[in-house]
A and B are shown apart, each in its own frame.
Chain A
Amino acid sequence: MTYEAVIGLEVHVQLKTRSKMFSRVGAGYGHPENTLTDPVVLALPGTLPVMNKEALDKTIMAGLLLGCEIAPECKWDRKNYFYPDLPKNYQISQYDQPLCRGGFVEIELPGPARNVMGEHKRIALTRIHLEEDVGKLNHGEGVSLVDFNRAGTPLMEIVSEPAIHSADEAFAYLTALKTVMIYGAISDCDMEKGQLRCDANISIRPAGSASLGTKVELKNLNSFSFVRDGIASEVRRQIAVVEAGGVVAQETRDYDGQTGESKSLRSKEMAHDYRYFPDPDLMPVRVGDEWKSAVRALCPELPFDKQRRLQKDYGVPYTITSVLVPDRGLSDFFEEAARLCDNPKAAANWIANDLLRELGSARLSLAQSKVRPSHVAGLVKLVETGAIVSNAAKEVFIDMFQTGDPPDRVVARKGLGADVGAGELERWCSEAVAANPKSAADFRAGKESAINAFKGPVMRAAKGRADPRRVDEILRRLLAG
């Protein structure tokens, strides 16, 4: 029998806000333990939460970007459970009235080849709600210490419908979601920093069936590839259980990315009763049309929309747009360069190939790059007008990258201009023909490739500055004469 996997993902995304969800203390990663705390975060007696508007703005933006319906009112509930990393021993969350409902994430599946665009699909969302993050337990020898720096960080929970059917789709979903979040400056989604965390609900059913099987929740999927591998292995495990005549148990399993194995954490019977109720410390907040419009005005173009537009408007091929678009800064860089020159494809190539290569080997970010869009556009123009030849252009680019000088200044400084004197070029060509009568005879006898024997010496004499097309023209004229 063949089986179909049915997967729903619960993704937690930390919002990139200046302060915490319900207090004024700063939010961030990598600070000394327990320095991002205050009486509210530590839940000292008598303290009260006050909502962070920036977190609401960002969640509304996430909802608008993903086509969700935004609730007219933002209401808060308490989710009660005891855990040492949860200072109040309840989490302020949204239970029955999430801020965003519905919507979808557009994903791209792997194509048949690397340079061919894959199939696009829409994965439906159930809801997005806002809550506060918990602290972190650090277990040592015989002691456990709590770091509350993360506690109270604004956290979105993005819940998909059980509409994902393979590990590859799950991977594509996360990739697309992360790109959208980064485009909106909603989150950096760095999984290593815990800014994006993912749990998967997985079940299997006979292919073609419409019913849902028993679901297993898989936790601790702490990298994109662990998500893919973990889901694939869980689907295999469930198929093996069913094939062996067994029944999949409803449980929560913990995935170990190192071994590729999962083990049971708790069964359904041990599920919590969270005793949700409306938080009496927080008033519901109305989200009116004016507020939504203000956020909508700040929404960026969606990544896949941008990719389609770059391909259509600038004729940039898929292989290049798939490099440019996932990075909003890089694609903006490209568009600026494209506006400043007449050959956007050439600009795109410089950026996607040379710039990224140089940044990579220098371990720099785009923001640190001395090469600006105007430099790239200038370089493209110099090549277009024949002012420099392509070999020289490569050298100019590397120089620009190191010095930050504009391309014309680099060309002048290094004498890389293509304007070799016409007389000089003519002379080098004559000398090359004269020095090699055998090849001249071969060419005249019809051996087309023999002409290449003259080009090397000419280019060497020109130190690479000669335009190969002109050299070819001159040689043919001389040999014909």
Chain B
Amino acid sequence: MHVDLQTVCRVFENVLNGSMSREQADRWAYAVVLEEETGIVTYSPPHERDRIWAGVMYLYGVDTMKAPGEYLHSDSDISAAMNAKLGEAVDSKAAMLLLAVATSSRRNA
């Protein structure tokens, strides 16, 4: 299996824009973790392995709920984690998405 930084970014983005469910993101990350156990995952770029893995491990379990039908993490939690884990790998498009999520959260508050 091959995992690159942009793919992890895209999964975060897809969760935030609603085109991927959190459950799907969790299963995608779980598949990476399973493959990692067999030692045949390659990371691209290789020097970003730590950041890629941190992103995967966040997405693994991102669908955890605190009560039936109520996710533990808010969208702003996820966008903050995306920023923290992937850092500058988050491109300008994602930054716009983060801004939109943050604005939406403030409106809803």
Specify whether A and B are partners: no
Residues in B lying within 8 Å of A, measured CB to CB = none
Residues of chain A having any CB pair with chain B under 8 Å: none
